Amino acid sequence: SPIALLVQEAIKYMSKVYIKVQEKSIIAKSIMGIMSLSLSKGEEVTILTEGEDEEKAAEGIKTFFMAAN
């Protein structure tokens, strides 16, 4: 499932990874959190990362979303 693949990508990084849609922000390492977003293909998301490998994490998650579209 795309949700499981997103979580697998997020857990590769030490940094905290958040996915924000409109005003709702969730932890990307949580399957239940991502499911609660009910993302639609083409929907705009904001990726927030915080930690020692935050730039790498942001790029990895961005690449995941670009490949999914």
Tell me the C-alpha to C-alpha distance, in Å, between residue 5 and each of 22, 40, 45, 47: 22, 16, 16, 16
Q: What is the predicted pLDDT for the residue at 39?
A: 85
Q: Over range 12-38, report the average pLDDT.
A: 94
Q: What is the predicted pLDDT for the residue at 40?
A: 84
Q: What is the predicted pLDDT for the residue at 17?
A: 97
Q: Is 52 helix (H, G, I), strand (E, B) or coil?
A: coil
Report the Cα 63 to chain-centroid distance in Å.
10
Residue at token pair 């990084």: 13
Q: pLDDT tens across 45-69, in order?
A: 999 999 999 999 999 999 999 998 6
Decide if pLDDT at 43 tops 90: no
Quote the longest CA-to-CA distance of the chain: 30
Backbone angles phi, psi at 24, to 5 degrees: -100, 130
- What average pLDDT does the structure give for the chain? 93
